[in-house]
Amino acid sequence: MKFSQIVQAYKDKGLPEREALLLIAKVLGKKKEYVIAHFYDECPEEFLESVITLFEKRLTGYPLQYIIGEVEFYGRTFYIEEGVLIPRWETEGLVELSLEYIRKYKLRKVLDIGVGSGVIAITIALECTNDKELSALGVEVFGTDVNEKAIALARKNAMRYSIKCDFRLGEYAEPFKDDWDSIDIIVSNPPYVRKGTQLQKELEFEPQEALFGGEDGLEFYKEFFKRYETSGKIVIMEIGEDQGEKLKALTGGEVLKDLAGKDRYLIVNKRG
């Protein structure tokens, strides 16, 4: 069977062509450009069964990123694996806002709570290193997560980009309790889906504890602001589209929208 025929068969089942190319490339251990260049060649017999198995898995809704083991974020490629949340495009806005605040207030110590694959923390560290003005600040980035697998993956991603980030296992800011006073900005994309929410098929394959934020989806925010004194600090968190009003009332912060026009980012600025 030719690569072109395999791609067509799965396009017919509703899979985008780009995904089909990536899945074949994954089995061959090549880049998708190789498949494009050999589109009308026969798929070697020894690979065919694995190609079919991967396609069938993908058709169950299993996320493409988990199959290929990589995800794009803020123009870079990061490792991703089952058991760790797949980063979303909205979160790039959280990074952008964080960088704006770091620049504006010349912030030095950044804590990312719930690092997952590490994309927020690592991107902030990389952008601060690559920017002339920000690199002069000597920004340090710390991160926590309650998921051991996430911490291991975040460390692996930091190594991929040879960037120094201090990732520690533990809840909220607890692993950096002794450094709390010196932390300038807290960023986080916490679990915020309300319990009982019907998720789309692909989300069922993602770690549920990374998604669900208790009865009203607000458990993480309530606990964080109850536990920590944030005077003198900036807090920037991603939020659910229907949580803006409640979180404004809870924190006195402001809420900004994402590119889709939905409430998405909470900013609590207590630097005065």
Ligand X SMILES: C[S@@+](CC[C@H](N)C(=O)[O-])C[C@H]1O[C@@H](n2cnc3c(N)ncnc32)[C@H](O)[C@@H]1O
CB neighbours of residue 143 within 10 Å: 30
Is 197:118 a contact under the CB 8 Å cutoff?
no
Question: Segment contacting ligand X (CB under 6 A): 56-64, 132-140, 146-154, 254-262?
Answer: 146-154
What secondary structure, in 3-state letters, does 173-197 show?
CHHHHHHHHHCCEEEECCCCECCCC
Question: Segment contacting ligand X (CB under 6 A): 45-53, 112-120, 249-257, 258-266?
Answer: 112-120
**Pick 34 or 223: Cβ nearer ligand X:** 223
CA 267, CA 238: separation in Å to the nearest integer? 9
Residue 165 contacts ligand X per CB under 6 A: no
* Residue given tokens 């926590």 in the structure block: 144
Phi and psi at residue 78, to the nearest 5°: -120, 155
Letters for 231-270 (x = contact with ligand X by CB under 6 A, - = none) are ----------------------------------------
Shortest separation between residue 244's beta carbon and ligand X, angstroms: 17
Three-class SS of residue 87?
coil
Residue 114 contacts ligand X per CB under 6 A: yes
Letters for 25-44 (x = contact with ligand X by CB under 6 A, - = none) are --------------------
List the end-to-end C-alpha distance of the chain, in Å, as a whole number.
66
**Pick 51 or 118: Cβ nearer ligand X:** 118
State which of residues 63, 191, 240, 253 lies at the interface with ligand X (CB under 6 A).
191
- Residues listed for the chain: 272
195 class by beta-carbon count within 10 Å (0-12 exposed, 13-18 middle, 19+ buried): exposed
Residue 65 contacts ligand X per CB under 6 A: no
| Chain centre distance of CA 169 | 17
Shortest separation between residue 134's beta carbon and ligand X, angstroms: 21
- Given the rule CB under 6 A, which residues bind ligand X? 85, 87, 91, 113-117, 119-120, 144-147, 150, 171-172, 189-191, 209-210, 220
